[in-house]
């Protein structure tokens, strides 16, 4: 039986890794994810897991060691944040292009400059097109649950694609919450044994990994890779159901919070969804048809399912915890707005950037978004497509 524990998000990730007990963890410490490899090292020292921990000299080397170990045929995990994730960049593509089902915990953090170690989604949103599956958690429980499910999703024969389980730096990584730690054996049974497709260490069937693909081959390989990533969508649903049967918490592509008849809808990812749910609850008590669409799977992006889930909306605000960086809006906004282009119902969609570099987002800020949506729905006018939450000074 599982038990209730009061631990941080990083500890939730570390316990998931302990219970999965991968063959190899190669990691380099970086705030705010440092306690993950630190706890893993402690678990190994205490004899609670027998993973080979490779202490490398950088994140570039961490992901490179993961690629090597996964190509050899091992089940491999790691953890990182921010600039560490950025330093992994070229190897992230090599992991996904080589179809190695590495699973990584990312305590999402702002990227320098200016130097900032606090939470936002600059790292994972910057890496959204590296070919990895991206799951985003709202709290410690989901951080733990997502990493366990990510193993089964990534290693599915139709997928064979690396996956990351992201959770907000500090808001989740360093906050102590009460969550359910499942029984070691039950988790072990759930993730099962991993059978690699073409392990390098199988000398009876020699295989080459990392070979060159000239112009007459590369394109075909990239589209073959894309199919694996796209296959992850159905597998995420399947594994989410299996997880529900095993542990009582079922997961899908998204969470529709009070969305059945919702007219004013916020679309968001991560810890801000907890705050938004509280605001939705109080608005509902006052008869306001507010709802939240929490995106869980960002890559592959389930655009059709999300558009369907937004069918009752009269006005939508997408919250991005990243700068639009010159695009029409944040990464989630442009995806959602594009998804709605083919929908029968095409309500106004606005975008807010919030929480950059650990800036707090409080109920009053979320309330101001619902107020704005109400005005837009009533007047049919959008005066500002893009704005910022809790920024000093008026934007635009």
Which chain residues interact with another protein by CB under 8 A?
97-100, 160, 197-198, 205-211, 213-214, 216-217, 219-221, 223-225, 227-228
Least distance from C-beta 232 to another protein, angstroms?
14
Contact yes or no for 17/147 (Cβ under 8 A): yes
Nearer to another protein, 233 or 365 (CB): 233
Give the pair of three-digit tokens for residue 254. Answer: 């998204």
Nearer to another protein, 203 or 394 (CB): 203
CA distance 55 to 330: 35
Give the pair of three-digit tokens for residue 163. Answer: 């996956």
Least distance from C-beta 225 to another protein, angstroms?
8
CA distance 224 to 161: 11
Nearer to another protein, 71 or 124 (CB): 71
* DSSP state letter for 358: G
Phi/psi at 219 (5° precision): -55, -45
Phi/psi at 264 (5° precision): -110, 115
CA distance 324 to 384: 15
Nearer to another protein, 50 or 205 (CB): 205
Pairing of strands 254-257, 290-295: antiparallel
Contact yes or no for 149/239 (Cβ under 8 A): yes
Give the pair of three-digit tokens for residue 385. Answer: 């497509």
Nearer to another protein, 132 or 144 (CB): 132
Looking up tokens 């990533």 gives: 229
CA distance 260 to 252: 16
Nearer to another protein, 207 or 382 (CB): 207
Nearer to another protein, 192 or 210 (CB): 210
Phi/psi at 300 (5° precision): -65, 145
Nearer to another protein, 193 or 205 (CB): 205
Phi/psi at 107 (5° precision): -85, 100
With residue 364 as reference, give the H or E element that holds it.
Answer: helix 363-379
Least distance from C-beta 143 to another protein, angstroms?
28
Nearer to another protein, 35 or 196 (CB): 196
Alpha-carbon distances of 281 from 72, 119, 177, 286, 390, rounded to whole Å: 50, 25, 21, 9, 22
Query: Which residues lie below 8 Å from residue 221, measured CB to CB, with a gap of 6+?
Result: 97, 213
Nearer to another protein, 18 or 299 (CB): 299
Least distance from C-beta 198 to another protein, angstroms?
5
CA distance 226 to 150: 18
Least distance from C-beta 70 to another protein, angstroms?
10
CA distance 269 to 293: 9
């Amino acid at each position: 039986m599982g038990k209730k524990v009061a631990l941080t998000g990083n500890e939730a990730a570390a316990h998931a890794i302990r219970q999965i007990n991968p063959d190899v963890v190669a990691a380099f410490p970086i705030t705010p994810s440092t306690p993950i490899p630190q706890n893993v090292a402690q678990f190994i020292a205490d004899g609670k897991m027998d993973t080979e921990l490779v202490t490398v000299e950088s994140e570039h080397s961490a992901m490179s060691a993961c690629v090597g170990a996964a190509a050899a045929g091992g089940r491999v995990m790691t953890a990182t944040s921010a600039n560490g994730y950025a330093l992994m960049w070229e190897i992230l593509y090599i992991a996904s292009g080589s179809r190695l089902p590495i699973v990584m915990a990312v305590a999402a953090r702002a990227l320098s400059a200016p130097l900032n170690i606090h939470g936002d989604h600059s790292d994972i949103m910057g890496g959204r097109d590296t070919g990895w599956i991206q799951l985003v958690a709202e709290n410690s429980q989901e951080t733990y649950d997502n990493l366990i499910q990510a193993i089964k999703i990534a290693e599915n024969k139709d997928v064979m694609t690396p996956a990351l389980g992201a959770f907000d730096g500090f808001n989740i990584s360093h906050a102590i919450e009460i969550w359910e730690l499942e029984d070691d054996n039950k988790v072990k049974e759930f993730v099962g044994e991993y059978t690699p497709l073409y392990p390098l260490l199988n000398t009876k069937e020699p295989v080459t990994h990392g070979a060159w693909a000239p112009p007459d081959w590369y394109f075909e390989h990239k589209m073959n890779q894309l199919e694996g990533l796209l296959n992850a969508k159905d597998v995420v649903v399947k594994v989410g159901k299996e997880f529900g049967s095993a542990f009582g918490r079922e997961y899908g592509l998204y969470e529709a919070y009070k969305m059945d008849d919702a007219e004013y809808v916020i679309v968001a990812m991560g810890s801000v969804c907890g705050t938004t749910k509280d605001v939705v609850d109080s608005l509902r008590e006052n008869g306001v048809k507010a709802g939240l669409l929490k995106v869980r799977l960002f890559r592959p992006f389930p655009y059709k399912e999300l558009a369907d889930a937004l069918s009752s909306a009269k006005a939508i605000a997408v919250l991005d915890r990243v700068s639009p960086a010159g695009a029409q809006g944040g990464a989630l906004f442009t995806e959602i707005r594009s998804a709605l282009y083919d929908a029968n119902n095409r309500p106004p969609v606005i975008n807010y950037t919030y929480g950059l570099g650990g800036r707090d987002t409080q109920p009053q800020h979320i309330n101001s978004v619902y107020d704005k949506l109400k005005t837009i729905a009533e007047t049919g006018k959008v005066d500002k497509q893009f704005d910022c939450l809790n920024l000093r000074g008026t934007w635009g």
